[in-house]
Amino acid sequence: MIGAVDLELTTAASPEDAKTISQGIVDFNRRAQPTLEAVEDEVRFFVFARDAAGAVTGGIRAACYWNTLHIELVWLAESCRGSGAGSRMLHMAEDFAREHGCELALVETTSWQAKGFYEKAGFAPIATVHGRPRGQSTHTLLKRLAPPTDAAGAA
């Protein structure tokens, strides 16, 4: 028999409660998939574009985990668009991810953002959610990353 459970919805969870549910799924995943990369092995990183004065003019926020580069956000100032800086930032992130064992790259973009940019960079659409946000679409794209090469160019 299952006991009574009280439910609570909050926008201000205590750090302890938040950690309890995070650790709960981590423990469940480890039992279900013992060879799964540990959450502690996640590598969060940034790639920044800077102007001559050192001011940030763009960047990528990303993470490497579960053999996947997760591109969380990409932004480039209007003045830098079309200069190749976006492609160079993306290549830098992909190279870093390969060095950290990533075989895949995932990104989510919206209909008014950069779907074409990612497709040109080798990403393929794998899902589209129409009406998210209302009146628009959200696209998820995937790219298989080639293994890193050594200095001699061998894989």
23-52 residue pLDDT tens: 999 899 999 999 888 878 899 999 999 999
The domain spans of the chain are 42-144
Provide mean pLDDT across the span 127-142. Answer: 96
Q: Quick one: pLDDT band at residue 3, thresholds 50, 70, 90? A: confident
Cα 105 to Cα 145: distance, rounded to the nearest angstrom? 7
Question: Distance between CA 142 and CA 145 in Å, rounded?
Answer: 10
The 3-state DSSP class for residue 7 equals coil
Is pLDDT of 130 > 70?
yes
- Contact between 90 and 74 under an 8 Å Cβ cutoff? The reply is yes
Q: What is the assigned CATH class of domain 42-144?
A: alpha beta
